[in-house]
Amino acid sequence: MPTERLQKIIAAAGVASRRKAEELITLGRVQVNGKVVTELGTKADPEHDHIRVDGKLLHGPERYSYIVLNKPKGHVTTVSDPEHRPTVMDLVRGVKGRVYPVGRLDWASEGLLVLTNDGALANALMKAASNVPKTYVVKVAGQPDPEKLEKLRRGVSIAEKGGRRVRTAPAKIRLIREADNPWLEVTIVEGRNRQVRKMFEEVGHHVEKIRRVRYGPLSLDVPPGEFRSLTLQEVSKLKAAALALKPRPARPPRRERD
C-alpha cells in the first residue's frame, strides 16, 4: 500500500478529524515505529508501519458511520470534558465505530449535530469557508428594528478568540414569530465559534434560545437527546454539499489580444 500523510491515516482510522489529527502530531502524541513524529509532512504505510496515538495502536480504517443527533441544552460538544460535564458522546452510546462531532454547538445551544468517523468529510465541513448553509431558530431579547436586521444580513464585525475581529458573511434572516422577545430564522454559511450569538450582541440583542434546525441538506427530525443514522442518499448529499463548494483553483489571467 502506498504511503499516506499521517493525519489522513489517523482520520481514516476514526480517531479524530484531520485537523485534530494535525494537532495531535504537532503536540508529539503520535509515534511511528516507536519514534515520536511532529512533522505534518510525515508519511507512513498503514499496513506495515506501527502507528500509535497517545500510546494506542491504530488498527486500520474503520467502517464509516454517519449519524445526526438532536443535541439538548446542557451537553458540551466534545468527546470528553475535563470538568466532567455531560457530553454529546453520552447520548450516542451503542453507535458502531468511534464517531466524533462535526463542529460544535455550545453548552446552551440545541439542535442538529452531525457525528461521524469519516475524517475527510468532517474536515471539509468544519472549514469556516465551506459555505455549507446552517439554519438556526433564535429567540432574542427585545425587538430588533429593521435597520439592525439589515445590518446583520449584510454582515457585521465580531470578535474571535484572541481579540481579532472578522466580518461575517451575508446572512439570511426572517421573522417567524412576533413577540416582545421574537423568534427569528437565521441562515449562515460560516462556522465561527458562537457566531449567531455574537452577531446579535453586536446590534444590542442577547440570544435567549438557539436551536439548529438544518445543516446543508439535512433537517432536524429526531426528538431532543435522540439520534439516527443517515441514509446512503443523505450521506451522498452531504458529501456533495461539502465537495461542490470547495474553492476552485484560480485560472491564469487571459492574455489580451493586440
**Cα–Cα distance between 52 and 31 in angstroms, integer?**
5
**Cα–Cα distance between 6 and 256 in angstroms, integer?**
45
Q: Say which residue the cell 426528538 belongs to.
A: 223
144: amino acid identity, one letter = P
Distances (CA, A) of 47 to 63, 105, 225: 16, 36, 38
- Give the H or E element holding residue 30: strand 30-32
The one catalytic residue among 45, 54, 106, 221: 106
Provide the 10 A C-beta neighbour count for residue 154.
Answer: 12
Q: Is 106 a known active-site residue?
A: yes
C-alpha grid cell, residue 162: 484572541
Beta strand 51-53 with 56-57: parallel, antiparallel or unpaired? antiparallel
Longest pairwise C-alpha distance within the chain:
70
* Burial degree of 24 (CB within 10 A; 0-12, 13-18, 19+): middle
C-alpha grid cell, residue 110: 440545541
Contacts of 142 (CB under 8 A, 6+ apart): 180, 181, 204, 205, 206
Q: What single-letter DSSP state applies at residue 188?
A: E
Residues designated catalytic? 106
